[in-house]
Amino acid sequence: MTAAAKISVVGLDAWYGTHQVLRRINMAVQDRRVTAIIGPSGCGKSTFIRTLNRMHELVDGGIVKGQVLYDGEDIYDKSVDPVLLRRRVGMVFQKPNPFPTMSVRENVLAGLRLTSALKRSDADMVVERALRQAALWEEVKEVLDKPGSSLSGGQQQRLCIARALAVEPDVILMDEPCSALDPIATARIEDLIHSLKENYAIVIVTHNMQQAARVSDETGFFLMGELVEFSDTNKIFTSPKDQRTEEYITGKFG
């Protein structure tokens, strides 16, 4: 693992009860770069990114062994508060999930209010900053008090990204963030990922090979719970070292 890695994964195993879903994963996530995780359904992609901010342990029977080092500190050490960790390593899910009873404004502030008390003036600044970072401010600045669920699907997903950004994380995890979106909304999210990587480390799970090629700097190919190959995205897609990677990328299986 390189010293510059924002997150280093060392010998990671994960289970759901007695069913092992990840086996001896070793890889590094670099700061201010996009890491894509690809592979067929059921290969452990979503489980993997959930181990990066300790969400896997919230699942009944979820077990993790090995190390996940965030800035050199093992996030599974007993001294680490998982709530505070998830402020630093945020998550955006497959389907947009704004809190339906909350306004656009309160959706942005929801994560921050769990651990902070905010003055109204400070809250307004946070809302505008996060929505601008999520490329949503101009579209919603006149409807901040309307329910977040009243926005379009693509806007809702950017609202969820703004919610993650409001707590000022270092890392953003995205689990198939475009799978429920139309092509126009998908393109906006991809453009947003390109701009966000100037300030954040991003890990994205995607089934879309073209998307992985477009947005990422490094790509990891998972198969049956194992990391088959991890390299520069261009190398993965043009000259993979493992035949299984080539077969998956060219559509021969998966």
Q: Is residue 153 part of a domain?
A: yes
Q: Is residue 214 part of a domain?
A: yes
Distance CA 6, CA 32 (A): 9
Q: Is residue 111 part of a domain?
A: yes
Q: 215 CB contacts (<8 Å, ≥6 apart)?
A: 34, 36, 190, 193, 194, 204
Q: Determine contact, residues 51/14, Cβ cutoff 8 Å.
A: yes
Of the candidates 44, 189, 166, the one whose C-alpha atom is nearest the C-alpha of residue 113 is 166
- For the record, the structure tokens of 236 come out as 């993965």
Q: Which domain holds residue 14?
A: 5-249
The DSSP-derived string for 11-60 is: EEEEEETTEEEEEEEEEEEETTSEEEEE-STTSSHHHHHHHTTT-GGGST
Distance CA 114, CA 85 (A): 13
Q: 121 CB contacts (<8 Å, ≥6 apart)?
A: none
Q: Is residue 254 part of a domain?
A: no
Please report, in angstroms and rounded to a whole number, the separation of the first and last CA atoms in the chain: 29
How do the residues of the chain divide into helix, strand and coil, expressed in percent and rounded to 5? 40, 25, 35
The DSSP-derived string for 131-166 is: HHHTT-HHHHTT-TTSBGGGS-HHHHHHHHHHHHHH
- 175 SS3 class: strand
β-pair partners for 226: 223
Q: What is the pTM of this model?
A: 0.92
Q: Determine contact, residues 98/159, Cβ cutoff 8 Å.
A: yes
Indicate which CATH number applies to the domain containing 42: 3.40.50.300
Of the candidates 239, 225, 179, 186, the one whose C-alpha atom is nearest the C-alpha of residue 40 is 225
Report the number of distinct structural domains present in the chain: 1
Q: What are the pLDDT tens digits along the chain (254 aa)?
A: 444 699 999 999 999 999 999 999 999 999 999 999 999 999 999 999 999 999 999 999 999 999 999 999 999 999 999 988 998 999 999 888 899 899 999 999 998 877 666 777 788 999 999 999 999 999 999 999 999 999 999 999 999 999 999 999 999 999 999 998 999 999 999 999 999 999 999 999 999 999 999 999 999 999 999 999 999 999 999 999 999 999 999 888 75
Q: Determine contact, residues 24/13, Cβ cutoff 8 Å.
A: yes
